[in-house]
Amino acid sequence: MAQVTTFRCDECGKLKTDANHWFRAARLELQRFVIVGWDSTLSDFQNPGMDHLDELHLCGMECAHKAMAKALEG
C-alpha cells in the first residue's frame, strides 16, 4: 500500500495541492534563514556542521514574506 504525504503551510495552515506555488524554508545556525522553491533541496545550502534548526513549508509569497519577517525579528 502506498503512503500518501500531505503538507500544510506552517504560516496559514493551507493544505498543499498540485496547483500551489510553494516554498521550503529553514532557520539555520549562525542566524541564517533560507527560502527555496518547493522542488529545491535545502541541503544544497548547508555547510558541514550546520544543522537545520527547523524546516518550514510555505504556500506562497505572502507566507514566505511573513516567515522571513519573523525570522528577521529574531
Residues in CB range of 20: below 8 A, 6 or more apart: 14, 59, 60
Sort strands 23-28 and 32-37 into parallel, antiparallel or unpaired: antiparallel
pTM for this predicted structure: 0.75
Q: List the beta bridge partners of residue 37.
A: 23
Provide the pLDDT for residue 72.
Answer: 84
Provide the pLDDT for residue 45.
Answer: 56
**DSSP letters of 16-66?**
P-TT---EEEEEETTTEEEEEETTS-GGGGPPTT--EEEEEEE-SHHHHHH
Q: List the beta bridge partners of residue 36.
A: 24
Chain-wide mean pLDDT for the chain? Answer: 80
